[in-house]
Every structure is written in C-alpha cells, then in structure tokens.
Amino acid sequence: MTSQTTDAASTRPARTLGGDSPSEQSGQVGVATHCAYCGLQCAMTLTGTSPDDLTVAPRRFPTNRGGLCQKGWTSAELLRTPGRLTTPLVRRDGELAPASWDEALDVVADAIVRTQAAFGRDAVAVFGGGGLTNEKAYQLGKFARVALRTSQIDYNGRWCMSSAAAAGIRCFGLDRGLPFPVTDIGSAHAVLLLGANPAETMPPFLTHLVRAADSGGLMVADPRLTPTATKALDGGGLHLQLRPGTDAALALGMIHLAVTEGYADRRFVAERTTGFDDFWPVAAQWLPERVERVTGVAVTVMRTAVAALARARDTERGAYVLSARGSEQHASGTDTVTAFIALALVLGLPGNRGTGFGTITGQGNGQGGREHGQKADQLPGYRKIDDPAARAHVAAVWGVDPDELPGPGRSAFELLSALGTDGGPRVLMVHGSNPVVSAPDARVVAERLAALDLLVVSDFVLSETAAIADVVLPVLQWAEEEGTLTNLEGRVLRRRRALSPPPGCRSELDVWSELSARIGCSTDFPTDPHVVFEELRRASAGGPADYSAVTWARLDAGESLHWPCTTERPQGTPRLFLDAFATPDGLARFVPVDHVGPAEADDRDYPLVATTGRVLQHYQSGAQTRLVDELSTAAGAMFVQMHPDTADAAGVADGALVDVVSRRGRTRAAVRLDDDMRSDVVFLPFHWAGDARANSLTHAALDPTSRMPEFKACAVRLEAVS
C-alpha cells in the first residue's frame, strides 16, 4: 500500500494525486468544494464556466489527502447528463408531461389541503435523504412539522447509520460517527474493520490505514474477501470471514478472550465505565470454540486479533475498532454495535488519544442529515422530539406554540409500508432518495407508492421512484448550490456553488417556501441557504449536535470546526470523550446484549444466505452513477458472487444468468465465481433496478431500537435461467 490512493479497477490511467490542481497551474480561479458522494467528503476544486467545460481536480484536505476515487473524478459528468430534468412534470392520462412551476406546485398544494382536510394532518408524509445539505435537512424537518404539521417524516439514513447511532447514544450518550479526526487513525498500528470495505466504498480512506496495514495490524471482519480484506492479508493482517449475521457472537467471543487472557484494561473499566458486572455473565458464556462454530472464524484468528489490538494500545497508543454497514444492517444491528463497543471498552480504547471506537458514515451528509430534524423522532441539534425542553427551545426559534408540534412518527420502512393503507399517508413527498430501488422488500414498497393518491418526487434525473410519481420537480445538483455538510468525523464543511443551474430548476428551499405559502402557513421559510443556516445555529444551540458557533465566514476562512462548536468551546471539538463521556455521570455504559442471529433462517428450500453491498464504481441506488458511462462500463452488469461449489450445486457456470430467489421475490444476475467466497453465502450489489434489483430479495425485519431493516442476511436459492 502506498500513501496515495489509486483505483485498480478504474478504466482510466493512473493519475498523480495531490499538489497544485490544473486550475492553479493555468492561473484560472477554481471553486473549492467537496465531492457529491460519500461521507468522507473529499475536497476538490471545480473549474469551468458551464457543465460542458467543468473539470474536477483533487484538493489537499485532511480527509482525502489530495486523493479522489473514480466516482469523484467523474462527478462532473452528472452535471451534463442528457437525462437532466429542467422542467416540472405532471402526470396526465397516465403519462408524465411537462408543466409550469405554478401548475405543478398548485397540484401539490391542492392535494395537501384536500387530503389533510379529509383524512387529517398525518395523511401527508415526507421522505428525505442523507445527501441533502444541512440547510435542506433542517428546513425539511421544519416544513413537515410547521407547514404540514405532520408527524410522518423520516429519511433513507434510517437504513444507513441508525443502528450505530442508537448504540453510540446507548453506550456513550452521543452519536458522532468518528468521535475523533480521521487523521488520528493514520497513526494506528492496529485497526479492526467490522463490515467495512473502504477500498471500494471510499478509496481515499485507505491512506489512513497505511501504518496499520504495513505493520500487519489491519484486520477485516467480513463474509467476503473484499479488496479491503485482501489488502489486510497482503500486509500480514487478518481476514475474519464470518457467516452473515453472526457479528455479535464474534464480538462476545473476542471480549471473552480479552478478559480471560489478560488483555482487559481493568483500570479503564473501573474508572471510566459502568455496567461491566452485568455485561460479563453474557460474554462469559461465549467460549471461543463456541464462537468458532457459530461464526466460522477460527479461535486462533480471534486470539491474534485481540492480541494485536492490545499490543498496539500498549506500545504505540494506536488501536481502533471501526464499524460499518456490514455489521449494522441487521435486525439486531444496535445490539451488535453495542457488543463491539463493549469490546473497545474492555480494551480501554474510547475516550483516549490514539485509540478509539468509531463508525464509518456512508452517505455524503449521513452525519449532518441525521442531526437536524429529518428523523421521525428528532428535532434540530439532535434533540428528541418528545422532550418538552427540546420542543420549547425549537418552537421558540420557529415562532410557534410547542403544543402545535407533532410527536414522533413512523420510521422509514414503517412509513413506506403504511402508504395508501387505512390510516396511512395518502400523499408523499420524496427528496433525495430512490426507495423503489433502495428500500428493503422493494417490491412491496413499490406497490405502496403506487397506491398513493399523490406521489411527489424532487430530483434532477428521472430515477426509478420519480418515474412512477404524479409530480416531478426538477431541483439543483450539488455544484449548483450553496450550503454546508457534515462529514464522517463531525467536521462541518462548505459546499460552494460553481455553476448556475439550468433555467427551470429550483432549490428545494424554494419549493418548500412556495408550498408553505400556498397551503396557508404564515411561518417564514427562507430560501437563502445562508439565512437558513443562521436559523439552524439558533435551533441547534444547547443540543447534543450544537452548531451555534459555526458560521459560514469561519468555514470560508478555512477554520476546521467539528461539532459541538459553542460559545464556550468556539474552536469546536475534534475529539470527544477525552474528559468524560456524554452520559449523566460521565461514564461509558456496558449494556448486556447477546447474539440472536439473522431474522430469517436458511433451510432446504432456501439453503443459502444472501448479503448485499456496494461496488467501486457505483453509489447507493445507482440513480446517479448509472448515468456516468465511464462508471457503468467499468462496473459492468448486475452479478451475483459465489463459490464454485455453490455454482456447481445449482448447475450454473461462470457468466451464466441465474435467478436468485427469496421468499419475497427474485433478482436476475450474472454468475461471478470466486474461490474465496464461503460456500453458504452469495453476494449481490444493490445498485441496479428492475429485474436486477437486489432489494427484491431482502426483507424488512426491523431492529427494535433503531428500526434498521436487515439488508445483510436473507435466505435464498439459485435457479438457472435457460
């Protein structure tokens, strides 16, 4: 591994990353902003005067260190895609047809007023996205609760970070993906990655794993030998190839080893935690040999991993445990992350410099998007909507009576599955999401969307969800708007406008302002994102995610501001928990949890376990990246990865088409053989639509705490396609 990021799977020649950008070399003035994709939010410079001549260059920044992945390099292609929407569409006689903005907004406003008059406030719902700027995420929550006065709002981040967030709040009293700067990981000699594959999902992140990989301390727990796991093995590290859904058992077994073999930091446990005596009886039952039978991970591998973390903690002060979607997207995801936090606590990692526990945020604004009011149970500043003090504070900022604010609503899948049913929402507004492809048990979700009286989608392309909508509103793309985002380490970043949007496109801020006036709401909904951010600062003040001392001027001046950033702590808080955890007594919590396994068991009819994930070139539902020819060509068609023995048993060959069938639906994919796969597991990427939609298979067993669906394990069989 080198100190720079390259894309082995890229079809482009290798680039030299870092240094002056082309715009700086030519004397042109570029616009400094951040990538449109993942939570690393790589810094980049955009140069050009129109979509046709816009170029992208990496910019040196602590997170990406001058690197970009293939998606970042091609991000300007989104701005010139032929499918860009530039006029509203309204369905007439079954077909979407161009309409004026006045006509489209009148259709939406009339439906809102009519539906709420007949069926109540909660008959209108809102579904947001983890890619919206902080300003939009904040304003969307305000629009739902003040203009619509509905409790029915949630967002696709419920399917991304919710289990890790719930576990962080449960154990630390606070949720921030990485409670330390990502650069701290660069000094680590041991890093345990749980269900994380940054080599494909955020390649520049690998620059922070160089020391761990070179010292043989990079360890990856994943059912597949991913490129990240391969990199670990190449450096002398470990691949813990567990069966999907057995992550909690692995954590408990490693805790058992840490305690019984003398690696526990007993002073840390005694002084900075509480609850270990209640937790240990559960972990004590998970003898390493039992864990090996359940997970498939050898005792020697587990023992080596625990020893590596303890050795790096003691000798170099550089040991981290990092979770991601592979360990979190389960019906027991909150308990699984809780168990791995317990492993980190036993080893004394959290709350110290050079060691820690964190979660790798996936979506571009996955952190900020969940802090300011898109979630069903949340108000700005990461406040709880059922907290009277929180309601009073936010209501005062909004100029409304606290009693007028609705209470908690349905979580994401529960909201979507209630659409069009008796007592469920009859009108839905979707922003920054494509649930027809991304939702679990997606066939049912598509049916529920079709049952609505009115579906309104704001997007810049005709995604699969927009294609079935009754009204489609063309909105701005990332390089056409101003605002802020918050990356995986809680660092607030500026998104800057590089281009004027095409005529006919409007910001969601304009849409919500227009609609609020049309339905008779007297509360002001500013359309200037800077004004919205100033209001967000006031609304977040005093909350767990406090932005009150963050200003655009400070960000534009180059200051690095991690929340909480307050008048008492104006320089922000890059490292949380150094003095105390965010619990009432300042102590981290051991919470007793146990392994329960996948919600759906394999059997004779469905003998395999399917797990889903991402590939290098695509992002989320693929609605954006499938439009970029370079990415689509490099990624190829939908595939299902399996061991040769699995293919032989099903009578299929490498490259052949096969139907992967679950109890809910089927997905057609090309067979891709891999000798390193477990023979009881198949892998499907979730970026394709139609017959290739992986989420036709997955089911919606929900975590009881986070309401996260179980994307990462479902029982399937293979059927050859003649």
| The token pair that represents 140 in the structure block | 């969307």
- Please tell me the predicted confidence (pLDDT) of residue 6: 35
Find the mean pLDDT for residues 190-196.
97
Mean pLDDT of the chain: 94
Asked if residue 27 has pLDDT above 50, the reply is no
Segment 568-577, tens digit of pLDDT: 999 999 999 9
Q: What's the pLDDT band for 391 if we cut at 50, 70, 90? A: very high
Asked if residue 379 has pLDDT above 60, the reply is yes
Find the mean pLDDT for residues 183-205.
96
Q: What's the pLDDT band for 414 if we cut at 50, 70, 90? A: very high
Asked if residue 19 has pLDDT above 70, the reply is no
Q: What's the pLDDT band for 1 if we cut at 50, 70, 90? A: very low
- Please tell me the predicted confidence (pLDDT) of residue 361: 87
Segment 199-247, tens digit of pLDDT: 999 999 999 999 999 999 999 999 999 999 999 999 999 999 999 999 9
- Please tell me the predicted confidence (pLDDT) of residue 587: 98
| Residue 401 burial (10 A CB sphere; 0-12, 13-18, 19+) | exposed
| The token pair that represents 80 in the structure block | 């010139």
389 Cβ contact list (under 8 Å, min separation 6): none
Cα Rg, the chain, nearest whole Å:
24
Asked if residue 316 has pLDDT above 80, the reply is no
DSSP 101-117: HHHHHHHHHHHHHHHHH
Asked if residue 519 has pLDDT above 90, the reply is yes
Q: Which residues pair with 561 in a beta bridge?
A: 492
| The token pair that represents 540 in the structure block | 């977040």
- Please tell me the predicted confidence (pLDDT) of residue 347: 98
Which of residues 17 and 445 earns the better pLDDT score?
Answer: 445
- Please tell me the predicted confidence (pLDDT) of residue 18: 30
| The token pair that represents 678 in the structure block | 């477990």
Q: What are phi and psi of 719, to 5 degrees?
A: -130, 120
151 Cβ contact list (under 8 Å, min separation 6): 121, 122, 145, 376, 406, 407, 408, 409
- Please tell me the predicted confidence (pLDDT) of residue 28: 56
pTM score of the predicted model: 0.94
Find the mean pLDDT for residues 555-566.
96
Q: What distances in angstroms separate CA 209 from CA 65, 118, 198, 214, 355, one per listed residue? A: 13, 57, 10, 8, 14
Segment 600-653, tens digit of pLDDT: 999 999 999 999 999 999 999 989 999 999 999 999 999 999 999 999 999 999
Q: What's the pLDDT band for 106 if we cut at 50, 70, 90? A: very high
Going along the chain from its start, the domains and CATH numbers come out as 22-80 (2.20.25.90), 89-152+380-562 (3.40.50.740), 162-360 (3.40.228.10), 608-720 (2.40.40.20)
Find the mean pLDDT for residues 445-451.
96
Segment 64-78, tens digit of pLDDT: 999 999 999 999 999
Q: Where are the alpha helices (DSSP H) in 320-456?
A: 325-328, 333-346, 366-369, 388-398, 412-418, 435-438, 442-450
Percent of the chain with pLDDT over 90: 93
DSSP 672-705: EE-TTS-TTEEEEES---GGG-GGGT----B-TT
Of 35, 102, 100, 107, give the one whose Cα is nearest residue 71: 35
- Please tell me the predicted confidence (pLDDT) of residue 609: 97
Find the mean pLDDT for residues 97-111.
98
159 half-sphere exposure, CB direction, 13 A CA radius: 32
How many whole angstroms separate alpha carbon 199 and alpha carbon 463? 27
Q: CB atoms < 10 A from the CB of 436, how many?
A: 26
The answer to whether the beta carbons of residues 189 and 312 sit under 8 Å apart is yes
414 Cβ contact list (under 8 Å, min separation 6): 702, 707
Asked if residue 15 has pLDDT above 90, the reply is no
Q: Which residues pair with 274 in a beta bridge?
A: 589
Sole residue written with tokens 């030998």: 225
Q: What is the number of helices (H) and of strands (E) in the chain?
A: 26, 28
Segment 686-722, tens digit of pLDDT: 999 999 999 999 999 999 999 999 999 999 999 999 8
Q: What are phi and psi of 573, to 5 degrees?
A: -135, 80
Q: What's the pLDDT band for 24 if we cut at 50, 70, 90? A: very low
Segment 249-308, tens digit of pLDDT: 999 999 999 999 999 999 999 999 999 999 999 999 999 999 999 999 999 999 999 999
Percent of the chain with pLDDT over 70: 96
Segment 79-91, tens digit of pLDDT: 999 989 999 999 9
Sole residue written with tokens 């069009």: 420
Find the mean pLDDT for residues 340-356.
97
- Please tell me the predicted confidence (pLDDT) of residue 722: 82
The residue count of the chain comes to: 722
